[in-house]
Amino acid sequence: MEQLRRDCLDPPIHLNGRDLCLSAKFGIAMHPEDGATAAMLLERAESALKRAKAGNEKFLFYREEMTARAAAVLELGNRLRQALELGQFELYYQPKCAVRGHAVVGVEALLRWHCPGQGMVPPAQFVPMLEELGLIAEVGDWVLRQAARDYQRWRSAGLPAPRIAVNVSPLQLQRPDFVQSLVEALAMNPQDAGIDIEIVESRLMRDIDSGVVTLREVRALGIGIALDDFGTGYSSLAYLAQLPVQTLKIDQSFVSRMLDEKEAMTLVEMIISLAHSMGLETVAEGVETEQQAQILEELGCDALQGYWLSRPMPADALAARLVGGTALAGLSAGP
């Protein structure tokens, strides 16, 4: 197979004086063990191809568990397609607090799916599927609108509503109508929509050039931009300087390891000093202990987010806490 690939695909194709190089991945099903009909063989070869595309393999032979996985994925996809219509999504909110005094400086909106029969499904289990199914734009729009509605509701109730940061998938950002959909979602109060966005650093970097252009348009709307899970990607400093971002969110893997591993501590220190030297703010993610909070304060981190201060909670639970003022200290209760 490797030989065939090399013979057929490695030599460049000469076209109009240029050399074009092809790349290809293969899914392979064998007759008769994988299927008796052409349709069955094709279907199984496609299952193998899908797995090859998702991983690093150039080619994969069909195995039985691929069909089982494909059936589970199909079933999950069907449920997700209906979830929006059936009102099964909900936004939870997690406060971000100033490192000193713990005043709430913002909240992050985190998507939850109440899947019948499965309970509450965390986003890591279904956001990648929304992306794969092409549903992320529609659901992402709902998230933006719901966050804007909640913000306005808190304001109308006279609460000190904190700005809401919404996670945006890079696939949403790549859509030509993304900025327009943002404008529409925030139209109910364009002067004070109270919405910011977060984008995972490593994923933004994969398509940075068009990302920068869109992010500049987003910023021009008065929306703040944070780079999420910062430190896990490989941002070049040159790109970072070009990005219209205001905040770096230090990835929780560094925060959780920094007290035990010198390298993690050094990274956290470096991210904070890099951010400050570029005029950016830092938020530490996944702060679970007082000790971590103290060290982060000593290192000059600007804000903290994590279970030590508060777990993510439904909109009404957050509103009830806002009634009591905007400082949270060691409030780790919540769903």
> Cβ of residue 60: shortest distance to Mg ion, in angstroms?
32
Residue 229 or 302: the one with the smaller Cβ distance to Mg ion is: 229
Decide if residue 306 touches ligand C2E (CB under 6 A).
yes
At position 70, the amino acid (one-letter code) is A
According to the binding rule CB under 6 A, does residue 127 interact with ligand C2E? yes
What phi and psi values does residue 65 have, to the nearest 5 degrees? Answer: -65, -15
> How many C-beta neighbours within 10 Å does residue 78 have?
11
Residue selected from 115, 288, 289, 314 as contacting ligand C2E according to rule CB under 6 A? 288
Q: Which is nearer to Mg ion, 29 or 227 (CB)?
A: 227
Q: Taking CA 106 as the corner, what is the angle to CA 99 and CA 255, rounded to the nearest 5 degrees?
A: 45
Under rule CB under 6 A, residue 143 binds ligand C2E: yes
| The one among 35, 77, 123, 244 contacting ligand C2E by CB under 6 A | 123
Query: Does residue 47 touch Mg ion according to CB under 5 A?
Result: no
Site for ligand C2E in 242-281 (CB under 6 A): 252
Q: What is the DSSP letter of 36?
A: S
Q: Which stretch binds ligand C2E (CB under 6 A): 33-41, 64-72, 148-156, 285-293?
A: 285-293
Query: Considering the rule CB under 5 A, would residue 167 count as an interface residue with Mg ion?
Result: yes
Check binding of 281 to Mg ion (CB under 5 A).
no
How big is the CA angle at 203 (ends 199 and 207), to the nearest 5 degrees? Answer: 105
Instruction: Tell me: does residue 34 bind ligand C2E (CB under 6 A).
Output: no
In one-letter notation, the amino acid at residue 2 is E
Sites for ligand C2E among residues 204-233 (CB under 6 A): 228-229
Within the chain, strands assigned E span: 13-15, 18-20, 26-28, 59-61, 89-98, 104-115, 119-121, 164-167, 195-200, 225-230, 247-250, 281-284, 303-304, 313-314
Q: Report the C-alpha gap between 286 and 283 in whole angstroms.
A: 10
Residues of this chain that interact with ligand C2E (CB under 6 A) are: 94, 110-111, 122-124, 127, 143, 167, 169, 198, 200, 228-229, 252, 285-288, 306-307, 312
